[in-house]
Chains A and B, each alone.
Chain A
Amino acid sequence: MVAQTSAPASSAAEHRPTLIGSGLSKTYHAGEVAIHALRQVDITLYEAELVVLLGPSGSGKSTLLNILGGLDTPTAGEVRFRDHALAGASDTELTRYRRDHVGFVFQFYNLIASLTAAENIALVTEIARAPLAPAEALATVGLADRVDAFPAQLSGGEQQRVAIARAIAKQPDILLCDEPTGALDSRTGVLVLEAIAQVNRDLGTTTALITHNATIADMADRVLRFADGRIVDVQENAVRKAPGELSW
């Protein structure tokens, strides 16, 4: 165990853990070479906190996010979502978990080209238990007027905000964002981060955000630095900066 993560001091009493990963390792085999993407990582995400995972590419942050999001399974270690153990869960159980509890945002938006903004969101709300209305979700990210636009008619930032709206429309317990601003310029990136921060604040969604952009770390409650498959540093921000104050 390299770094012990703990709850922000200020909120330890009121915030219960949402997701706990302990002793997580992931080893890939590429031919005869074993790649240790994750080595014995412990992590706890608390309700309503915003955590930024910072590190160079290949440091293991995406692997961790995928395991936490139920897209991948660890080679060793355990993941607990509230009272449920995710380790050893079947594909169907993991799908159920993603469907009911997790929202994803990716670098490349991954919108369905043949569906409009509202329809991309409806895709999720149709199968969710207590969703927001698609229009409401779009309004949350400031795209109330782009309801009927197809992805090809939207800018990159708009597409990413639709992706965020899609991720939060189901009112997930956890929002996992993997380089959400990676493909965007700084100004547009700020708009997207604002949307994420707003969701975190207004809906109280536990949010984990991957970036290699250290500036973004200032908007987090906690910053976990990754290197070589381990968490090498944990930093708690006493004050979260608003995304509008960031620039890079």
Chain B
Amino acid sequence: MHPLNRKLWRDLYRLRGQALAIALIIASGVAVLVMSLAAAQSLLNSANAYYERYRFADVFATVKRAPISVARRIAQIPGVQQVEPRIVEQATLDIVGFEEPVVASLVSISVPYRPTLNRLVLRSGRFPEPGHNHEVVAGEAFAEAHSMHPGSTLQALINGRKQTLVVVGLALSPEFVYAIGPGALVPDSKRYGVLWMGREALEAGYDLDAAFNDIVLSLWHGASLPSVLREIDRLLRPYGGVGAVARKDQISNWFVMNEITQLHNIARILPVIFLAVGAFLANMILARLIATERSEIGLLKAFGYGDAAVAWHYAKLIVAMTALGVLIGWVGGYWLGLWLTSVYAVFFRFPTLLYTPGSVAFAVAALVSLVATLSGGVGAARRAARLPPAEAMRPPEPPVFTRNQGAFYRFTDWLDQASRIFLRQALRWPLRSLLTSLGIGAAIGILISALQWLDAIDRMVEAYYYEQQRQDAIVALVGSEPDSITGDFLRLPGVIAAEGHRFVAARLHNGHLSQREALIGVPAGSQLEILRDDSGSRITIPPNGLLLSAKLAEMLDVSVGEHLRIEVLEGRHPVVSAPVVALFDTLIGTPAYMHIDALNELLKERNQTNAVFLLIDEHQHQRLFARLKTIPAVGSVMLRDAAIQMFHESVGETILIYVTFYTFFACTLAIGVTYNAMRIALSERGRELATLRVLGFYTGEISYVLLGEAAMLVVLAIPLGCLMGFGLTVILASAFETELFRIPLVVEPATYATATVVVLIATLIAGILVHRRLAHLDLIAVLKTRE
């Protein structure tokens, strides 16, 4: 080994604490990057493999009732490969031991089972047998939630008739990877499930002989999706088609793909912070090393080493630290990615887990880290290269402190000498001090941005479920009914108030922009759904025109006063124009509201409702639920409390995992930055500290001089960190914004406090590590030598 390389290894060993701290910070960045990219890639590959193997359809359309011959015409649309007309209905289930009504999607399959599109993955049991109309295959997640297995029975209200169904098999389907019930925001396996039944049984149950109300199709490679969608809409319109959707808008797939997008967002935002801090620390450690090795540098040059050789020698130190960080990060990222992918696999119930991290994630992480730290160290290495040998062999000029260095010096006059020392030290190198504070602040910021999710979720729940949705339950009716039906609901046990609303499928157009959205008809003066504007004051539903969520208006590029073309996707499919009369902000979905009378007017129907909002006496739940399960007109029941609970459970759990990660990463960052800053200060000021010891200062007192500076920078880091935390929250919120959710910008004081306290503890640990070194200061050796 070349002696210089041997020196390099020894330097690295001597600086192992600091090198490890930097390596761990780089490792955190690399791990997050590899984890997110690997999980995203694996999720995509798993989903695609699942989709391909089980023939996930390309296009989905629902219709009121179309004769089977229409399916044959659809099959002839150019580009269409295969069609599968189906019957998909909703039924309420009554499950023994579960009080609340359960909603199920009943999906027809051929009996005996002949796999076509959206093939089922049979996990246990068998498919229904011919002639056994009561046999069903249940979705695995749903079955598990209710401890059902082949042989279990359940009661279903199918088109008003109560039937006993027997579960004969459990299955998964690429169509229901993210199985979300009607109107729900998150999956709830207890209250929503999918049951696959023989086509014949459903035909009989819903009077759909030789007809279908749902069709899925696959396309040939290269088929024109827009023209196929257009053609399907044209063919289905006479039969009550509500518009075909492509795979990318299919709800389950949308969620899966959205998750992948979010992972890419994480990969883009967080590693940048870690790598920037890593670069700064690399610069700091290298600059210090070069300062202490001036004479060696002079010697090397005197021996005839060129500038480039000297610069490269020091750059290699950075490369070595980065390489260590990258290696740790690779391993950590690989395992975190595997773990995250397996969490997704369980959540999405992929039949096979494909962990395919791909070399790209690793290569990108390594390259980005190396570029970041080398660019951080390049300045210091260049300074080393530029030192003329003769000058290098002289000791450096002592740092010059003068009274002219700023008004702050006056400010230090009222302090004791020990405080003056560190205060002036920090002010002498303000950029370095600021960057150190920013590094620690970044840790606080990262923690805030992670903990803020909990605040955001609370706020979302508060805003959506308590301020806006004032009802305890929404009963979706099978079809529209005269609004006198609300009176019938009012007579049910435990119902305190009932309000008829109406949901109508529509497509809103503005020029070439269009968006499919349910138009929600709200009665004037609704007590059970209250919309508010930015300032929190209640918005009155205008008698005419549209009330749009701001996000929808943005998507359609429309503002108040302009008109939208409304293409109703139900009934006679009227197309009308209506003005946008007001916008409002909502965190969830992209709803569009109208006065219910205006909506009915649009459909040329009077006083119709298809969703009844209920306020319920909580003591009479049981009786009410028992009744609701028996009412044929009831399509589904959505309970607010259950929805809130599921929201917390599904989102909260994921977030808790992230918060744990982030806490770990933030602590690494805080400890790494503080430890490095203090070690460098110790190296620079070891002589002064030893002098103080000789003068009769106790270890605790010199510890104050050293740790005092760190403490001061940590204190400065708190407001900076809070600001960065808010900024990061803004960036993350906008990156994570989807059509479904907008993350509200709320950071509770407790969140700032928690993040600060965690980081303070982390810096305290770093302080203790350095403090222990002070006890071993070699007073004599330090004083005997000239620096």
Q: Which residue numbers of A lie inside 8 Å of B, CB to CB? A: 62, 66, 69, 71-72, 91-92, 95-96, 98-100, 102, 104, 106, 108, 110-115, 119-120, 122-124, 126-127, 148, 150-153, 166, 170, 178, 183
Per-position 1/0 for B769-787, Cβ under 8 A of A:
0000001000110011111
Please name all residues of chain B whose beta carbon is closer than 8 Å to the beta carbon of A110 when the two chains form the complex. 687-688, 691, 694, 783
Interchain nearest-CB distance for B237 vs A (Å): 83
Task: Please tell me if B222 contacts chain A, counting CB pairs below 8 Å.
Answer: no
Contacting pair A115 B421 (CB below 8 A): yes
Closest 10 pairs (CB-CB, A-B): A99-B696, A114-B424, A123-B417, A110-B691, A98-B696, A152-B400, A150-B401, A114-B401, A108-B786, A112-B688
Closest residue of chain B to A72 (Cβ to Cβ) is B780
B780: which of A71, A112, A115, A119 is its contact (CB, 8 Å)? A71
Contacting pair B699 A124 (CB below 8 A): no
Complex Cα distance, B416 from A127, in Å, reads 11
Closest residue of chain A to B402 (Cβ to Cβ) is A150
Task: Please tell me if B512 contacts chain A, counting CB pairs below 8 Å.
Answer: no
Interchain nearest-CB distance for B218 vs A (Å): 76
Task: Please tell me if B403 contacts chain A, counting CB pairs below 8 Å.
Answer: yes
Contacting pair A124 B400 (CB below 8 A): no
Please name all residues of chain A whose beta carbon is closer than 8 Å to the beta carbon of B698 when the two chains form the complex. 92, 95
Please name all residues of chain B whose beta carbon is closer than 8 Å to the beta carbon of A62 when the two chains form the complex. 784
Please name all residues of chain B whose beta carbon is closer than 8 Å to the beta carbon of A151 when the two chains form the complex. 398, 401
B691: which of A99, A100, A112, A148 is its contact (CB, 8 Å)? A112
Contacting pair B428 A114 (CB below 8 A): yes
Please name all residues of chain A whose beta carbon is closer than 8 Å to the beta carbon of B787 when the two chains form the complex. 108
Contacting pair A100 B428 (CB below 8 A): no
Interchain nearest-CB distance for A178 vs B (Å): 8
Task: Please tell me if B420 contacts chain A, counting CB pairs below 8 Å.
Answer: yes
Closest residue of chain A to B427 (Cβ to Cβ) is A114
Given contacts A72-B780, A112-B421, contact A150 B697 (CB under 8 A): no
Contacting pair B420 A115 (CB below 8 A): yes
Residues from 367 to 409 in B contacting A, C-beta threshold 8 Å = 397-403
Please name all residues of chain B whose beta carbon is closer than 8 Å to the beta carbon of A91 when the two chains form the complex. 699, 775
Most buried by A among B688, B694, B775: B694
Complex Cα distance, B401 from A153, in Å, reads 8
Can you list 29 contacts pairing A with B, beta carbon distance less than 8 Å? A62-B784, A69-B694, A95-B693, A95-B696, A96-B696, A98-B694, A99-B697, A102-B696, A106-B783, A108-B783, A108-B786, A110-B688, A110-B691, A110-B694, A112-B417, A112-B421, A112-B691, A113-B401, A113-B688, A119-B417, A119-B420, A120-B417, A122-B417, A123-B418, A124-B695, A126-B417, A152-B402, A153-B402, A178-B783
* 5 further interface pairs, Cβ-Cβ under 8 Å (given A98-B695, A113-B399, A114-B401): A72-B780, A104-B694, A104-B695, A111-B691, A122-B417
Complex Cα distance, B694 from A166, in Å, reads 12
Contacting pair B398 A113 (CB below 8 A): yes
Most buried by B among A69, A115, A124, A153: A115
Task: Please tell me if B425 contacts chain A, counting CB pairs below 8 Å.
Answer: yes
Interchain nearest-CB distance for B52 vs A (Å): 69
Task: Please tell me if B711 contacts chain A, counting CB pairs below 8 Å.
Answer: no
Contacting pair A123 B692 (CB below 8 A): yes
Complex Cα distance, B696 from A98, in Å, reads 5
B403: which of A95, A98, A127, A148 is its contact (CB, 8 Å)? A148
Per-position 1/0 for B414-432, Cβ under 8 A of A:
0011101100110010000
Most buried by B among A62, A98, A148, A183: A98
Contacting pair A66 B780 (CB below 8 A): yes
Interchain nearest-CB distance for B776 vs A (Å): 11
Closest residue of chain B to A104 (Cβ to Cβ) is B694
